[in-house]
Amino acid sequence: MTNNRQHRPLKRLLAASALVGSATVLLAGALALPAGAAGSGPLATKVAVTTGISNLHTGQAVTFTATVTSTPDHTPGGQVTFSITGADASTVNCDTGDVQAVASGTATCGVAAGLLAASGPYTVVAQYADTVDSSYQSSSVTKTQVVNLGTTATTVTPQVTPAVTGEPLAFTAAVAPSGASTGSPTGTVTFTGVTCDAGNVVTLSGGTAQCSVSGGLVSQKAAYQVTAAYSGDTNFAASTGTGSQVVTPAATTITLTPSAGTCTGDVCTIGAGTAVNFVATAAASGTDSGSGTPGGTFTFAILKPGSKTSYPCDGGSNVIPLVDGTATCTISAGLPAVVYYKVSATLASTGYQPGVASLYENASLASTSVTASVPKDVGAGQTFNVTAVVQPIAGYTGSNVPTGYVNILVCGGNSNGNDGCEGGASAVGPGGVAVLTVGGGEFPGTYTYTAVYTGDTNFYSSNTKAKSMFIDKSDTTTSLSEAGGFASTDGAPVAITATVAVPDGADGSSLVGPPTGNVTFTITDPNGNPVSCQGGNVIALPEAPFETEGSVTCYLPPGTLTDLTPPQTDYTVQASYGGDSDYGTSAAHAVQVVVPPAD
């Protein structure tokens, strides 16, 4: 091996030899000298370090190549010692040792695991030493190696796809080095697009982070986009990934029940007019892993046979919002009597499969009871009322009241009515009361009275058993009157009038007429001696036209009543009515005072 610096002394030697004529001997001797034998010392060297990578990233495999050069015609041998030190004083060793032999002018230090951005920049020192023949001087070079953050790729994977509303879900975000980078990223991942059970910022563990949504998501037309944003760390750059989650409607279970009446399967019976709530409930069936409580609305339909128009819920709208999965159609007035309404409730709820529940509701006529009553002590010819009361049977909760008519009859052998009965249809009024007024009354005797409710669109008919009533003779009252006020003078004529009155007036009732029969006058003096009326003391009540009904007069001619015991004499007067077939007896008393004539 030659060295250019050794050529210069050799030329001087050749020139000197030419002068003395012994050039051949001297040249041969000079060419045989070893490197450095001319006495000028080891040759200078220069070291350069390269990687061939323009942008080095965390974990990227790297090889540092030290190139040792000297004079152009020489290639140094020996070894290079590598030293790699981070800014944080950490050190990195070459994979095959930090001391590498120089071969063909180069030595390499490979670091397959790469360097860390967190420890950079690194100081790389390559120290050359001639360990072969000391022909070359030692030299070194220092290189600053910048390490960029490693690139990452974030992916989001749903646990279940597609899912259904309310199905428990989990989303896994995986963060891995990308490109030439290697290593294990740390830090956090922030999920968006869903709400994670434990919060949306999740720490990486083993390169993954999981977002659990135990309550699931609600179905929608478009897929949910779940984004995971990796925050990056001191060695790795941030990155973002997005995953799609398709959520389909969950299967539901729907029930429909009435609040009143009885049901066998889906066939129910309720009294017409009975207040009722139709309660519809929706819940996730769970058969497809769905869960949650449906919202939205139930549309109720209560249809008569052959009709397309629904009976309305209270408030007028049959579309009822769900509250806690339940909607109620209230019909406080109840349903009119119809054989089997078809009742249905149709669910419309975001995130849940539509569904319908139905039943058949027979709104039957409600049973009734009717009672009848008459006044006590009804007399012949007296106007009286038969009162009937119609009521739903006990336990009826509807708001309807019986309407229509009650046939009320009073019957007996002595009845003044047609075919021995008096009465007919009487309208049912407030409180279910119907009244038959028997104007003018009946003849005395025993009668039966009945009431038959004919029913209406909501209530069945009902009737009473026949009950007995006795109509007695009408009471009478007898009164006495005298023109002088029951005072007269000795020997003066006196006229005492007895009047028999009946409850319906002096003329009697239109049926039985005025009282008939006799009035008997009994008049006695203080000694108990009787006094006779002119014509007799038994006087018949008048029946002829133009006579005053119910009145008779006892005429006492002049001299009949005298003052037997001055200064006055008291005569006792009694008038007794003996009654007739329709009227009872009665009597009246008075005292006729007789005084001496005025002087």
pLDDT at position 508, please?
53
Q: Is 138 exposed, middle or buried (0-12, 13-18, 19+ CB in 10 A)?
A: middle
Q: How many CB atoms lie within 10 A of CB 265?
A: 7
pLDDT above 50 (res 6): no
* Range of weakest confidence among 8-12, 174-178, 203-207, 263-267: 8-12
Residue range 89-131, pLDDT digits in tens: 999 999 999 999 999 999 999 999 999 999 999 999 999 999 9
d(CA 486, CA 492): 12
Residue 32 has what pLDDT?
31
Distances (CA, A) of 76 to 96, 210, 291: 22, 58, 79
What's the pLDDT score for residue 5?
34
pLDDT over threshold 60, residue 86: yes
Task: Say if CB 378 and CB 424 are below 8 A apart.
Answer: no
pLDDT at 381: 86
Amino acid at position 59, single letter: G
Nearest to 297 by CA among 276, 319, 275, 313: 319
Per the CB < 8 A criterion, the answer to whether 168 and 158 are in contact is no
Listed residue (367, 366, 442, 374) closest to 408, CA to CA: 374
Q: What is the mean pLDDT of the chain?
A: 90
Mean pLDDT for the stretch of residues 72-99: 96
- Model confidence band, residue 236 (pLDDT cutoffs 50, 70, 90): very high
- pLDDT over 70 (residue 498): yes
Give the residue-averaged pLDDT of 174-200: 97
Work out the average pLDDT over 143-153.
98
Question: How much is the pTM?
Answer: 0.59
Residue 549 pLDDT more than 90?
no
Percentage of the chain beyond pLDDT 90 is 78
**What pLDDT was estimated at residue 339?**
84
- Could you give the domains of the chain? 46-145 (2.60.40.1940), 152-248 (2.60.40.10), 252-364 (2.60.40.1940), 368-471 (2.60.40.730), 477-595 (2.60.40.1930)
Q: Which pLDDT band, with edges at 50, 70 and 90, does 504 fall under?
A: low
Q: Looking at residue 215, what is its pLDDT?
A: 94
How large is the average pLDDT for residues 543-566?
89
Per-residue pLDDT band at 34 (split at 50, 70, 90): very low
φ and ψ of 424, to 5 deg: 155, -155
